[in-house]
Structure 1
Amino acid sequence: MTKQAEAAKGDSIHRGNPVTVDRYTAAARLNHWITAISLVLLALSGLALFHPSLYFLTGLFGGGALTRMIHPFIGVVLLLSFIGLFLRFWKLNLWERTDSVWLGRLRDVLTKNDEKLPEVGKYNAGQKLVFWSMSLLIVLLVASGVVIWQQFFSEYFKVEQQRVAVLIHSILAIVMICVWIVHVYAAIWVRGTIGAMTRGRVTGGWAWRHHRRWLRELVSGKSKVGPKEVTPAE
C-alpha cells in the first residue's frame, strides 16, 4: 500500500515551552462530541428498552413511551454526525503494513515499551480498528433500526423480519457498547488523549512518544520547528 498523508487540515506546530501541536480543529472536536453524546444517549435509552430490569432508565427520557419515540431520532443524529467524522478521517485510518507490525507487538503496547514499536501516524492500529468497527456497526445498527422503526416503516416489513431485526439490533448494540468502552478506556489510559479532544492540542513530547510519524511529517512539511525542539518527554 502506498504511503498515505498522516496530517489532517489544521494540524500544525507552535513554538513554546513546551512545544504544542494542533491535533483537532474546533469543528472536528464538536463533531466528535456530538457523536459521543449521541452514542451515550442511545446506549442508555436502548438498554432501558432492552430488559425490564433496566426500565428505570426511561426516567432519564421522560418515561417509556417517550424513550421509545426519541431513541430512533437520536440514531439519526448519530448517523449524520458520524458521517461527518468519517469524511474527515477515513483516509487517515486506512490500514498499512506498519499497523500489522504494531498489533503484533501488542505486549510492548500494553507495557508502554514505545521504543520497540514502529513509528505511528496520526492514528495507531488500535484507533483504526475502533474507527472501522464503529463505521460498520453504525451502518448495521441503522439498517436494522429502520426495520423496527414502526412509526414510519412498519408497513414495509413483515413481523418475522422485524423480530429478526430486533435480535440483530440488540446484539450489535451490545458489541457497540463494548467497542465504546474500549475506546474510552484507551483514551484514559494514554494520558493526554482526552485533552487533545477537549482543547485540540497536545504537547510535542506527547506527539513524539505516541504518533512520531505524524509529528515528523508536520516538522518536515508544515513547520519551521526543528526535530530537537519537539522530542522531550511528556
Structure 2
Amino acid sequence: MAAYDVHRGDAVHPGKPVTVDRYTVGARINHWITATSLVLLAISGLSMFHPSLFFLSGLFGGGPWVRFLHPWIGVVLFFGFLGLFIRFWKANLWKREDGTWLARVRDVLAAHDENLPEVGKYNAGQKFVFWAMSILIIVLITSGLVIWEQYFSAYTTLGQQRWALLIHSIAAVMAIGVWIIHVYAAIWVRGTIRAMTRGWVTGGWAWRHHRKWLRELVTMRSGEGSGSGSKPAE
C-alpha cells in the first residue's frame, strides 16, 4: 500500500454521516495564504498590464504602491506554494489510473462515476493544476526577480529585462487560467470547498470521488490500530 497518498491528520470518523478528515488546519491556512497572494498578484499585475486596467491600482493605493507591493506579494506566493508543494507533491505523482481517468474525461464531465477508475487523494485534473502551478510559479518568481529593478537591475541587461517581462506576462496569464480552472472545478464538484474551509468531507464524497484514497486510509489506520502498517506522509 502506498503511504504517500495518506497524510498525517487524515482520518475516518464513524457517524451519520461518516466524515473523513482531508486537510489539517495548517494545510488550510497554507492554502488560503497562497490563494490570497495569487488573487492579489493577479489584480495588481493586471493593473500594470494595460492602461485600461490601471484603475485596479486604486485597490492598493495607486501606481507607486502597486509597483512596490507586487513583487513582495510574489515572494509570499512563492513560499506559500512551496509549503503546499512540500506537503503534497508525493500525492500528486502520476499513476496508471490517472491516464485512464484522463482518457475518460467525457465521463467525468457527464458525472458517470461508474465508468471511472478509483483514484487516490487527487485525480488527474487536480494533479494537472498542481504541476502546472508548480512550473508557472517557478517561471514567475525567476522572471520576476530579473525585472525587480529596485534590487536586481544592476545584475541584468535591458534586453534580459524585456525578455523576462514578456515571459513573466505570458506565465501570469497562464497561471490565471489554471486558477480559473481550479476554482471552477472546486465549485462544480459539490463538497470540495468544504474540504478546504472545514477540513473534512463526507464518507460518501470520499467514496465517490477518491475511493482509492479512502480504501488506503481505512486500511492504514486499521493497520496502525493493530500495531502494523506504514507511516503516513507528513
Q: CA deviation at 1:200?
A: 0.1
SS in 2 for 1:122: coil
Question: Are positions 1:206 and 2:205 aligned together?
Answer: yes
Query: What does 1:105-184 correspond to in 2, within 5 Å?
Result: 105-184=104-183
SS in 2 for 1:5: helix
Partners of 2:198 and 2:77 lie apart in 1 by 22
Partners of 1:7 and 1:42 lie apart in 2 by 32
Partners of 2:147 and 2:218 lie apart in 1 by 51
SS in 2 for 1:66: helix
1:63-83 deviations in Å (ceiling 9; x for gaps): 000001110000000011111
Q: CA deviation at 1:217?
A: 1.0
1:228 corresponds to: none
Partners of 2:160 and 2:4 lie apart in 1 by 44
AA partner of residue 209 (structure 1)? R
Gaps of 5+ in 2: 224-234
Identical-residue share of aligned pairs (%): 67
Partners of 1:203 and 1:213 lie apart in 2 by 15
Partners of 1:60 and 1:223 lie apart in 2 by 52
1:25 corresponds to: 24
1:130-162 deviations in Å (ceiling 9; x for gaps): 000000000000000000000000000000110
2:95 corresponds to: 96
Question: Are positions 1:192 and 2:191 aligned together?
Answer: yes
Partners of 2:92 and 2:218 lie apart in 1 by 21
Q: CA deviation at 1:5?
A: 3.1
How many residue pairs get aligned? The number is 223
AA partner of residue 33 (structure 1)? W
AA partner of residue 36 (structure 1)? A
Query: What does 1:221-232 correspond to in 2, within 5 Å?
Result: 221-223=220-222
TM-score, with length taken from structure 2 = 0.93
Contact kept? 1:6, 1:213, Cα under 8 Å: no
1:79 corresponds to: 78
AA partner of residue 167 (structure 1)? L
Partners of 1:92 and 1:107 lie apart in 2 by 24
TM-score, with length taken from structure 1 = 0.93
Q: CA deviation at 1:55?
A: 0.1
AA partner of residue 32 (structure 2)? W
1:231 corresponds to: none
AA partner of residue 23 (structure 2)? Y
AA partner of residue 7 (structure 1)? V
Q: CA deviation at 1:219?
A: 1.5
Q: CA deviation at 1:9?
A: 1.1
Contact kept? 1:43, 1:177, Cα under 8 Å: yes
Greater relative contact order, per chain length (Cα 8 Å cut-off, separation 6+): 2
2:40 corresponds to: 41
Q: CA deviation at 1:177?
A: 0.2
1:67 corresponds to: 66
Partners of 1:13 and 1:187 lie apart in 2 by 22
Partners of 2:112 and 2:20 lie apart in 1 by 23
Contact kept? 1:41, 1:74, Cα under 8 Å: yes
Q: CA deviation at 1:218?
A: 1.4
1:103-142 deviations in Å (ceiling 9; x for gaps): 0000000001001100010000000000000000000000
